[in-house]
Amino acid sequence: MKRVHKNLIILATTAVIATPILAQQRERPSRECMQEVRELCGRDRSQIRSCLQEKADQLSSKCSGELRDRMQQRRGARDRGNRAASQTMIRPDRTIIYGNDQRQQIDVFEPEGAVDELPLVLHIHGGGWSVGNHKLVQSKPAHFTNANYFFASAGYRLMPDAPVEQQAADIGTAIQALRGQASAIGFDPDRIVVMGHSAGAHLAALVSTDPQYAGEAFDAIRGVILLDGAGYEISSSMANAGARSETLYKNVFGEDADRHRALSPVTHVGGADAPNWLAFYVAERAKSKEQSELLVGSLTEAGSAAQAVPISNTDHGRMNREIGIPAGAEQTQAIDAFLGRVFN
């Protein structure tokens, strides 16, 4: 019997079973196909995913094809929805101003009914150090607050007004400002995980390996989550970049080798590093893989708990914006497990 792509079948099947009404009946797999799935795996929705991981190749070719078609339809709708969601700004529970620039502010989202001092996840947006908006947080606030974490998203000044050194200083100051208001907000000031995407991943790694930026707040950084960064060692990243990326890096970091070293997180590894690291990269993105493994290897040698994790069937933007929704299950589950280890 023809072997099929198990992940597509699992996602398509569980989505169809969980959705009683669809916009167009023709999008559903046939009754015969759904009966085949039930005969193979039963009717318990919680068991179907694990069952199909083992037995998906036992489905008929016709049913496998119907499920693949359904998944492709859902993927198209999901991508359209994600593009719309990425432009949605969610109202925070409070905003902290930590400087005079309009970008120097932090949005904070609070778990409903929180009593204990819960940990906090601080997100740093990407955008090539030149663009981006800390208010575009997609499903992250709902996901993390539902998991009993405070969630914050930090803005920072951008180029050309602020070079990378000042951006890292902004993030460090933001962490200090958060800790200064921890008692009023209600989170544990000594349990913070910093998470950054793309350029934000570089800034998260830099602030979490070089204590000059966060100062006395540095020890509160209990863990770091990096989302598809590719600039943890600037000189090698520039040397292996394509023409477009090379131009970006030269505009951001210049050509001074000493400055490259100063702004490379790898350079600072072995000092007072944050103790726990999770570095994601798009599996097919060689540059991010190389840089993530380089950083993780250095951190591991220096004694930190660090892991580089490839994510397949995604891209640079989706890895970030799909956190907290079914389409981003792989990175979301890994993040949840990481936070559980770090905070418990």
Q: Domain residues of the chain, as ranges?
A: 6-85, 94-343
pLDDT score for 184: 93
- Contact call for residues 225 and 335 (beta carbons, < 8 A): yes
Per-residue burial over 228-238, b if 16 or more Cβ lie within 10 Å, else e, is bbbbbbbbbbb
CA triple 285-323-300, angle to 5 deg: 55
Measuring CA to CA, how many Å separate 20 from each of 14, 24, 28, 75, 310? 12, 12, 10, 18, 34
Confidence of residue 56 (pLDDT cuts 50, 70, 90): confident
Compute how many other C-beta atoms are within 10 angstroms of the C-beta atom of residue 34. 17
pLDDT score for 332: 98
Q: pLDDT above 70 covers what percent of the chain? A: 84
Instruction: Supply the pTM of this predicted model.
Output: 0.75
Residue 87 has pLDDT above 60, yes or no: no
Confidence of residue 24 (pLDDT cuts 50, 70, 90): very low
pLDDT score for 28: 61
> Residue 96 has what DSSP assignment?
E
Q: Is 274 helix (H, G, I), strand (E, B) or coil?
A: coil
Compute how many other C-beta atoms are within 10 angstroms of the C-beta atom of residue 305. 15
Residue with more model confidence, 238 or 191:
191
- Contact call for residues 214 and 172 (beta carbons, < 8 A): yes
Measuring CA to CA, how many Å separate 324 from each of 133, 218, 292, 319, 328? 19, 27, 22, 11, 7
Residue with more model confidence, 108 or 238:
108
Compute how many other C-beta atoms are within 10 angstroms of the C-beta atom of residue 113. 6
Per-residue burial over 137-146, b if 16 or more Cβ lie within 10 Å, else e, is bbbbbebbbe
pLDDT score for 73: 63
Confidence of residue 16 (pLDDT cuts 50, 70, 90): very low
- Mean pLDDT for the chain? 87
As a whole number of angstroms, the distance between CA 249 and CA 256 comes to 12
pLDDT score for 23: 33
pLDDT score for 62: 82
Sheet with 305-311, edge to edge strand ranges: 94-97, 105-109, 150-154, 118-124, 187-197, 221-227, 276-282, 305-311
pLDDT score for 215: 97
Compute how many other C-beta atoms are within 10 angstroms of the C-beta atom of residue 220. 21
Residue 22 has pLDDT above 50, yes or no: no
pLDDT score for 64: 79
Q: Say which residues have a Cβ less than 8 Å from residue 256's Cβ, sequence separation at least 6.
A: none
Confidence of residue 32 (pLDDT cuts 50, 70, 90): confident
pLDDT score for 4: 42
Structure token digits, residue 80: 């359209």
pLDDT score for 328: 97
Confidence of residue 38 (pLDDT cuts 50, 70, 90): confident
Cα radius of gyration (the chain): 22
As a whole number of angstroms, the distance between CA 32 and CA 34 comes to 6
Residue ranges of E strands in the chain: 94-97, 105-109, 118-124, 150-154, 187-197, 221-227, 276-282, 305-311
Structure token digits, residue 96: 């902290």
CATH class of 94-343: alpha beta
Q: pLDDT above 90 covers what percent of the chain? A: 67
Instruction: Mark out the alpha helices in 131-218 (DSSP H runs).
Output: 140-146, 164-180, 182-185, 199-207
pLDDT in tens, 113-142: 777 789 999 999 999 999 999 999 999 999
Residue 237 has pLDDT above 70, yes or no: yes
Residue with more model confidence, 77 or 57:
57
Structure token digits, residue 238: 């520039």
As a whole number of angstroms, the distance between CA 138 and CA 85 comes to 6
Confidence of residue 80 (pLDDT cuts 50, 70, 90): low
Confidence of residue 72 (pLDDT cuts 50, 70, 90): low
